[in-house]
Amino acid sequence: MKSQLKRNLLSLAGLSVFVFLALGSYPSTNSNQTTTNKSNSNAGTTTRRTDTTTYKNSSEHFTGPLEENYVDFSFDYPSAWKRDPKAGKGDSPNFVKVEQATDDEITLENFAVGYYTGQRDVMPKVADQLSEQFSSGFPEYKKVSQGPTKAGRYDGYEFRFTARAKNTPKGDLDIWGRVILLPGGDNRKGAALIMLATSASDQVRSVEDVGEKGELPTVLSSFKFDRD
Amino acid sequence: MNDTQQAMRSRFAFVSVHIILPLLLGGLIYACWRDQNLPMFRWFDLAGLQPLIAKLRIAASPWQVKLPIWFQFSLPDGLWVYALTAFMALVWKGRDSRLKFVWLSMGLLLGAGSELGQLAGIVPGVFDPFDFFFCLSAAGLALVATSKSITRQRSTNEVAT
């Protein structure tokens, strides 16, 4: 009887250690509370707590490829960030773009969501193609890594790149980018998450920090498809 | 070498091979290739391991493209289930009780069960058939491997006695 009790206690202690270890791999989530509401043309936005705002994608007002490849998603972003009014309109490849910038319009960090219609198995190839496209838009572009990753609760595929902007009001700046492709599910299409940070940020110091340090981790970890 | 030393040695070998090694391997996969926005990376920071982890990630980054997705995302789950099932098998070896089976199935319940919970929408996250398969296989493999190991260990002890 005593031996049985001892084994039960040992099992319980062991289980606690295993559960603790498992918690280390559990993605952290944003648990802000809803306080007030706002609205605008393309999206329902809800201000959460005082420092984050929720963007919720809505199919209204999108045209062309964005309308054809529309996907329901939402994410939280710091309320101090600004939404790019051009995103989601005209030739924009993105549904939305939010940005933290300096007073002289230098990007510190930004986050954009575009569409991705491919499936999981073609992600490495699509990443190569996207990287090729990006290379023409950034001076001194260099892809530095690519491979599987996780965005919040979703498995995806990413590539990271560096570039350099010269003669900005803040001098020469390093640009660090990270693009995550999230494949579609049974009932929805996928998405491409595009994150940029520059050396003007005092929190992001390298391409490895994009989405890991600064304010982007809050945005990234809160991203979710509204129809899984 | 007396019986107690022999038993201790066998137990140490069992713990090393069936529990510590799978946990270390799973942890290494996370440390090398998984998103750094996970609590374990904050633990590494707190433990002062961040520079070591950074070096490890740089050294391991060329492999990231070559490794299959299941290796990075499903195998660690399977290794965790394997180690937990093996731990319970060790604790409950030589005992026959209903509780033994409850504890032995804990890895399977938590691993594969949480995947099924995701499928049913009662556990946060997205159901992944690969994760489910790995958890299921790992629990089965652990039971087979550890029962062989424990039987072998017991027969060695019997001969020694």
Q: For residue range A61-73, what is the model confidence (pLDDT) as tens digits?
A: 788 889 888 999 9
Q: How far is CA A147 from CA A56, A126, A131, A202, B66, in A?
A: 28, 12, 13, 27, 8
- Please, are residues B157 and B3 in contact by the beta-carbon 8 Å criterion? yes
| Residue pLDDT, tens place only, A133-158 | 888 888 889 988 888 888 877 888 99
Q: Could you give the dihedral angle defined by the CA atoms of residues A67, A72, A75 and A79, in that order, rounded to the nearest 10 degrees?
A: 50
Question: Considering only CB atoms, which chain B residues are within 8 Å of A212?
Answer: 35-37
Q: Is the pTM of this model over 0.80?
A: no
Question: What span, in angstroms and rounded, lies between the C-alpha atoms of A8 and A14?
Answer: 10
- Compute the distance between CA of residue A29 and CA of residue A218 in angstroms, rounded to an integer: 8
Q: How confident is the model at residue B64 (pLDDT cuts 50, 70, 90)?
A: low
Residue spans of the domains in chain A: they are 31-225
Phi-psi category of A90—alpha, beta or left, where left has phi over 0 and alpha has psi -120 to 50?
left
Residues of A in contact with B73 (CB under 8 A): 148, 150, 155
Residues A223/A75, Cβ–Cβ less than 8 Å: yes
3-state secondary structure A61-95: CCCHHHHHCCCCEEEEEECCCEECCCCCCCCCCEE
Chain-chain contact of A212 with B92 (C-beta, under 8 angstroms): no
User: Average pLDDT in the B110-114 region?
Assistant: 91
Provide the pLDDT confidence category of residue B149 given band limits of 50, 70 and 90.
low
- Using an 8 Å CB-CB cutoff, list chain A residues near B61: 145, 147
ipTM of the complex: 0.86
pLDDT for B1 = 60
Q: Which two tokens stand for residue B20?
A: 């510590």
Span A82-121, pLDDT tens digits: 999 889 987 888 999 999 998 888 999 999 999 998 877 8
In angstroms, rounded to a whole number, what is the distance separating the alpha carbons of residues B143 and B88?
10
Indicate the pLDDT class of residue A1, thresholds 50, 70 and 90. Answer: low
Choose the most confident range, by mean pLDDT, from A91-105, B45-59, B140-154: A91-105
B12, exposed or middle or buried, with CB in 10 Å at 0-12, 13-18, 19+?
A: exposed
Contact criterion met (CB < 8 Å) for A208 and B57: yes
Which of A22-36, A58-72, A153-167, A177-191 is least confident? A22-36
Residue B42: C-alpha distances to residues A126, A208, B45 (Å) = 32, 15, 5
**Contact A67/B at CB under 8 A:** no
CATH architecture assigned to A31-225: 3-Layer(aba) Sandwich (3.40)
DSSP state at residue A213: B
